[in-house]
Amino acid sequence: MRKNLQWTAPLAFALAAAWPLAGQAIDRGEQNGVAYATGGVGQDESSAMRGMAKDYSLRMLAAAKSGEYVADVRVTIRDSGGAEVLSVTTQGPYLLARLAPGAYRIDAEYGSAKQSRQVRIPASGRADVSFYF
C-alpha cells in the first residue's frame, strides 16, 4: 500500500497543474472593441463553441472541401468603410465575433487559398458564414 501512496502526491499535483489548461484551447480576446473567441478542436471544445455562439453576432466555420475542419485560418474582417475591425488566426474551425449591426467583408486565408465573403450582421440574432478550402 505504501508503494501506491508514493504516486498519489505527484499524480495529484500533475492533475491540478493540467486542469487549468483543459479549457485554454479556446482563444478569447478583443480587438478594436470587437470581442471574439476561436477554437473548436475536439468534441468538447466544439460543443463549448457552439454553446457560446448565442453571445456573438457572427459565427464563422472553416473546413476543407473534404469536410474536415481546419484551423490556422488567417481572418481579417473589415467594416463597410474598409476599416479593419478584427484580424486573427483561428485556433480551430470556429470563429465567433461580437460585431455591431452592419455590413462587413471577411477575408480568409488558409495555406495559399484565399476567399472573401460579404456578410450583414442583423440588429438581433446572428450571421453564419462558412469557408471551404
Question: pLDDT, tens digit, for every residue of 63-100?
Answer: 999 989 999 999 999 999 999 999 999 999 999 999 99
CB-side neighbour CA atoms (13 Å) of 114: 3
Span 99-121, average pLDDT: 98
Bridge partners for 30 per DSSP: 35
Element (H, E) at 48: helix 43-52
Please give the C-alpha separations between residue 47 and each of 56, 94, 96, 107, 127, in angstroms, as whole numbers. 15, 11, 13, 25, 19
**Structure confidence at residue 38 as a pLDDT band (50, 70, 90):** very high
pLDDT at 17 over 70: no
Predicted pLDDT of residue 94: 97
Predicted pLDDT of residue 105: 98
pLDDT at 20 over 60: no
Does 118 or 23 have the greater pLDDT score? 118
CATH-assigned architecture of domain 25-132: Sandwich (2.60)
Summary mean pLDDT of the chain: 86
Q: Cell numbers at residue 39, please?
A: 477554437
Q: Cell numbers at residue 120, please?
A: 450583414
pTM of the model: 0.79
